[in-house]
Chains A and B, each alone.
Chain A
């Protein structure tokens, strides 16, 4: 589903977006009957660098300052973080973490924050956008990845065929929506042919019931991360009994 089809399906004609050449998207939309939303995103499979992260963060902070608590919808069809000497020189880790902080701050200030993954998303870009909102919704065509298998093969020195064989039986490391779902990271998958505005309205209505972070419990339930919740809870409890 293209970005334009997605926006029209969700908002009809009630949206305006500015799509920059570097893939950064800024805009507004109105969900029938009268719910205004702030739109941001990383689109056209572009990587996320220092400028993009700063621009998105700026838009979020402006919304938080306004105090109107409009939902923030993050549209995602991105690459990974931008891989360049310059971005690392400038401290790309701080810019990406800053973007994630702004999304988590908006959430703490009562702004519903929802990521809508309709395409790709990987590594630092994925952590700073899709995993930094309270809810992460995906369309069936979405393809989240941490690192493509050829690169994993180069880094781990394991043959590609070996990785593909293991990937088929070990969801925890191969790319793809189903594997990411099993970890508990995906809140919902929407059927693009169904009533998308209805799905978004329903999700907005139940946002306040969504726990701030229960991805580990969901991962246990779906079976992709059987230990995360239990290990975290064991450490938390044992720490609680300290002197």
Chain B
């Protein structure tokens, strides 16, 4: 019987780390035994987690030393709180000091509302730490395929990474479907329409418009192979790369700014068989994408 690889989407943060890195190479930093828990949850009668939903450490990928951070989507939706955010800031500052590639396994609904102000400032601190590490030549690679998706501040951090890998299950967005619906009404966004949610935020759409650099199957081996492909020659963070990103984002807006739906946008972006994309199997989709302009680029 074909042994099916476990689904990344279903795995816990720790299972993903174990499956992604060379076996037994992971060394956790500020692990659960050091009890770095959130001081703010007691006021809400909410139980803390000993890693505050963010696991950080070092390990190896094909023998190469890497730093890794993984959000636990099962703890408060992977939401970014004070301690959760500070662990990632510390890891990125370490990466800038003694350069080593950083893998960020996103799984977050965004800022943790019970710690809203601390979480929001942490998002900005993480973005700054990513850019400082990148300016020091470090590759910061985002992996997006978890249940909570990559929303709110998480999506702004993802857009600061050198490279981004996404699976079909992954979703990336600033305002989540439920919040758009509750603020603007069901005509603006029907969050119960799963096909619409995935067409708008999902991995295929993000790959087709160039938000993500690689699209992979929903398993650790695929994410691992993709990480190895992207870990060398990361785009630097400088004026040239930022101007190239500007041109890319301006082109996207000019060509597809009036599209009301993803399929319309794909057609604007000259994606052949746009109507078939949603149900296209992974291999076929990857082949389709490799032939498209503006989809593989250095401008991030």
Interface residues of A (CB under 8 A from B): 50-51, 54, 57-58, 61, 64-65, 81, 83-98, 100-102, 104-105, 108-109, 123-124, 126-128, 131-132, 146-147, 151-152, 154-156, 158, 166, 169-175, 179-180, 182-185, 212-213, 215-216, 219, 224-229, 231-236, 238-240, 242-243
Contact, CB under 8 Å: B94 / A93: no
Contact at A146–B111, with CB atoms within 8 Å? yes
Q: In the complex, which residue of chain B has the Cβ closest to the Cβ of A125?
A: B174
B27 vs chain A, min Cβ distance (A): 6
Q: Does B259 contact A (CB under 8 A)?
A: yes
Q: Give the residue name and chain of the B residue nearest to A179 (CB).
A: B117
Any A CB within 8 A of the CB of B211: yes
Determine whether B85 belongs to the interface, using a CB cutoff of 8 Å to chain A.
Answer: yes
Q: Quick one: which of B200-234 are within 8 Å of A by CB?
A: 200-201, 205-206, 209, 211
Does B86 lie at the interface of the complex (its beta carbon under 8 Å from any beta carbon of A)? yes
> How many residues of B are counted as interface, with CB atoms below 8 angstroms from the partner's CB atoms?
90
A57-B246, A131-B120 known; A216-B89 Cβ under 8 A: yes
Taking the nearest CB of chain B, how far is it from the CB of A50, in angstroms? 6
Whether B180 lies near A183 (C-beta < 8 A) is no
* Interface status of B153 (Cβ within 8 A of chain A): yes
Q: Given the complex of chains A and B, what is the CA–CA distance between A238 and B29 in angstroms?
A: 6
Minimum Cβ distance to chain B for residue A233 (Å): 7
> Nearest-CB distance from B102 to chain A (Å)?
10
User: Are A227 and B128 interface neighbours, CB within 8 A?
Assistant: no
Q: Is the CB of B249 within 8 A of A124?
A: no
Q: What is the bound-complex CA distance between A113 and B159, given in angstroms?
A: 21
B129's nearest neighbour on chain A, judged by CB, is A213
Q: Assuming the A-B contacts A227-B39, A227-B86, are A98 and B180 also in contact, with contact meaning beta carbons closer than 8 angstroms in the complex?
A: no
Residues of B within 8 A of A128 (CB): 156
Ordered by A's residue number, 16 sampled pairs between the chains whose C-beta atoms are within 8 Å are A54-B253, A58-B246, A91-B252, A93-B172, A101-B237, A104-B127, A127-B124, A172-B118, A173-B40, A216-B86, A225-B82, A227-B86, A228-B122, A231-B90, A235-B86, A238-B30
Pair count A-B, CB < 8 A: 269
- Which of B9-17, B181-189, B275-283, B286-294 faces chain A? B181-189
Are A101 and B242 closer than 8 Å at their CB atoms?
Answer: yes
**Assembly CA distance A6 to B18 (angstroms):** 55
Q: Are B117 and A173 in contact (CB under 8 A)?
A: yes
Residue on B nearest A233 in the bound complex, by CB? B90
User: Does chain A have a CB within 8 A of B2?
Assistant: no
B195 to chain A, nearest CB (A): 13
CB contacts (< 8 Å) of B201 on chain A: these are 88
Instruction: Given A83-B175, A101-B237, A156-B113, verify A228-B82 contact (CB < 8 Å).
Output: yes
Complex Cα distance, B256 from A193, in Å, reads: 48
Interface positions, chain B 40-91, Cβ under 8 Å from A, are 40, 43-44, 56, 58, 65, 67, 82-83, 85-87, 89-91
- Contact assessment for B131 and A101 in the assembled complex, using a CB-CB cutoff below 8 Å: yes
CB pair A151 B120 closer than 8 Å: no
* Cα–Cα, bound, A85→B98 (Å): 41
- Is there an interface contact between A101 and B129, defined as CB atoms closer than 8 Å? no
Residue of A nearest to B155 (CB): A93
Within 8 A of A (CB), among B227-277: 237-239, 242-243, 245-246, 249-250, 252-253, 256-257, 259-262, 265
